[in-house]
């Protein structure tokens, strides 16, 4: 039986490895070797990665690819993508090429507002709480001056602090609902620091507010934290072209294709089972760029899915319509991204990727990321409504199966040729490989 360990975090890296390999793997020598294989030979670089998180024992590689030829607002980009799933980079590149010769992608930043909340319990009269809030609002802002001064110099800072009565949802529950502009930062640390300061001011001022009863003076701050739901940190990215330019394949007319695309998006709008997968495809593109640029993909995921459900039913993040003879396809998605802060100036590959993206501001990055999501969705939905998804997918999957079974370069070349005219299935690939090896 396994036993819990006390003080794991205080062990050295090699002691941690020894412990995990011995206690949780069947071949400790082999396990240690695998972990070490993924260490970087440059010890300083390895130490940098070790210190990103806690209890580090190795690095977990993710392939990084490039999707070139993205024409965004008449500027050409090559987009770095970090993702483990085959087909995503290929699909993005294909969509970029297709739209590059049809005017490219157009984008518009609809807002950059970030949100944070102080959640508190107040037992007393709401009208007194309102008067108290009006009185202390300027103190909330002035007490946070030491935190906001440099952000204000950049044109950002606190935008608004609102008192919200949530007591009909939960007894005695109120909020300071706060909005911020964080310029080129995602803003988590800035916002959380401001909120903790607001909470301290709120509690102190309540203790000294003479109109409050003794009970009302005891405001209980439950927590102070940014929200990853940022419906006003919003970006729209769009493609459009005359329908007759939608000559996607010989098998389908441009008009039929346009109509099928619109129909497919309509289905994703009304059918949550489809919408989730539809949006998952969008997030294939989005997460890959978010990760490659050192941003927080969990934050982006949470915010995007909440936005997809903003009307009460989970729905598509992309939209499509035919207007006259023009086909329009667009995405609207909240993206709180940073090009400073977090890992952005620490991780050498992130720095390189931001250079490849021509040193974007946070707003530029919102546009690039939204376009990657839109391109991905265009490629996925156009496959679905024409050839089906498996044709392209299994071709890419072929490589993974061959690698899993240690195919040599010669075997790969032979089988890639063979499967140009045969259907890829897992069993089919294994049989072909076995036959080749006989």
Instruction: Pick the binder of ligand NDP from 120, 190, 257, 330 (CB under 6 A).
Output: 190
Instruction: Pick the binder of ligand NDP from 104, 341, 360, 392 (CB under 6 A).
Output: 341
Is residue 185 a contact point for ligand NDP (CB under 6 A)? yes
Instruction: Pick the binder of ligand NDP from 11, 90, 267, 340 (CB under 6 A).
Output: 340
Q: Which two tokens stand for residue 283?
A: 């997030």
Determine the interface stretch with ligand NDP among 59-67, 129-137, 188-196, 401-409 (rule: CB under 6 A): 188-196
Distance of alpha carbon 405 from alpha carbon 398, whole angstroms: 11
- Measured between alpha carbons, how far is residue 61 from residues 58, 205, 215, 293, 407 in Å? 10, 50, 55, 15, 21
Chain residue whose CB lies nearest ligand NDP? 341
Distance of alpha carbon 280 from alpha carbon 277, whole angstroms: 5
**Active-site residue flag, 296:** yes
**Closest distance to ligand NDP from the beta carbon of 195 (Å):** 11
**Active-site residue flag, 85:** yes
**Closest distance to ligand NDP from the beta carbon of 193 (Å):** 8
Is residue 390 a contact point for ligand NDP (CB under 6 A)? no
Q: Which two tokens stand for residue 302?
A: 């949470």
Active-site pick, 135, 145, 146, 280: 280
Is residue 299 a contact point for ligand NDP (CB under 6 A)? yes
Distance of alpha carbon 208 from alpha carbon 220, whole angstroms: 15
Is residue 186 a contact point for ligand NDP (CB under 6 A)? yes
Is residue 183 a contact point for ligand NDP (CB under 6 A)? yes
Could you tell me the maximum CA-CA distance found in the chain, to the nearest angstrom?
91
Distance of alpha carbon 152 from alpha carbon 147, whole angstroms: 10
Could you tell me where the beta strands, DSSP code E, fall in 54-146?
64-72, 75-82, 106-109, 114-121
Is residue 285 a contact point for ligand NDP (CB under 6 A)? no
**Closest distance to ligand NDP from the beta carbon of 156 (Å):** 6
Active-site pick, 13, 18, 49, 85: 85
**Active-site residue flag, 332:** no
Distance of alpha carbon 41 from alpha carbon 372, whole angstroms: 33
Dihedral (CA of 231, 235, 239, 240) sign: positive
- Residues binding ligand NDP (CB under 6 A): 150-151, 154, 182-190, 226, 228, 296, 299, 338, 340-342
| Residues marked as catalytic | 85, 280, 296, 393
């Amino acid at each position: 039986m396994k036993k819990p360990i006390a003080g794991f975090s205080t062990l050295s890296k090699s002691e941690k490895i020894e412990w995990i390999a011995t206690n949780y793997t069947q071949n400790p020598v082999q396990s240690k070797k695998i972990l070490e294989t993924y260490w970087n030979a440059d010890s300083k670089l390895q130490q940098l990665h070790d210190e990103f998180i806690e209890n580090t024992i190795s690095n977990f590689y993710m392939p990084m690819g490039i999707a070139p030829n993205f024409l965004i607002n008449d500027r050409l980009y090559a987009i770095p993508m970090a993702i483990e799933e085959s087909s995503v980079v290929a699909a993005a590149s294909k969509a970029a090429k297709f739209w590059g010769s049809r005017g490219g992608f157009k984008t518009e930043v609809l807002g950059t507002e970030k949100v944070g909340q102080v959640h508190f319990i107040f037992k007393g009269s709401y009208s007194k709480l309102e008067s108290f809030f009006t009185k202390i609002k300027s103190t909330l802002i002035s007490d946070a001056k030491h935190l906001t001064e440099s952000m204000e110099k950049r044109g950002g800072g606190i935008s608004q602090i609102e008192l919200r009565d949530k007591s009909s949802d939960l007894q005695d529950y109120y909020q300071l609902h706060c909005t911020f502009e964080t310029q080129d930062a995602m803003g988590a640390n800035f916002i959380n620091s401001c909120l903790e300061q607001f909470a301290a001011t709120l509690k102190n001022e309540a203790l000294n507010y003479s109109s409050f009863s003794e009970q009302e003076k005891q405001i209980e701050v439950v927590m102070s934290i940014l929200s990853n739901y940022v419906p006003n940190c919003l970006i729209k990215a769009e493609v459009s072209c005359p329908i007759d330019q939608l000559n996607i394949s010989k098998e389908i007319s441009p008009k039929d294709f346009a109509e099928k695309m619109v129909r497919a998006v309509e289905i994703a709008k009304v059918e949550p089972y489809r919408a989730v997968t539809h949006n998952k495809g969008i997030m294939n593109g989005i997460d890959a760029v978010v990760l490659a640029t050192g941003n927080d993909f969990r934050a982006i995921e949470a915010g995007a899915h909440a936005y997809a459900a903003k009307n009460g039913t989970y729905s598509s993040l992309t939209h499509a319509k035919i207007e006259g003879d023009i086909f329009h396809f667009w995405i609207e998605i909240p993206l709180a991204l940073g090009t400073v802060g977090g890992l952005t100036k620490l991780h050498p590959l992130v720095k390189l990727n931001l250079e490849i993206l021509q040193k974007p501001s946070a707003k530029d990055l919102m546009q690039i990321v939204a376009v990657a999501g839109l391109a991905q969705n265009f490629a996925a939905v156009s496959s679905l409504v024409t050839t089906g998804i498996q044709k392209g997918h299994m071709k890419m999957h072929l490589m993974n199966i061959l690698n899993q079974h240690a195919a040599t370069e010669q075997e790969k070349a032979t089988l890639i040729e063979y499967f140009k005219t045969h259907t890829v299935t897992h069993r089919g690939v294994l049989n072909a490989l076995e036959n080749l090896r006989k």
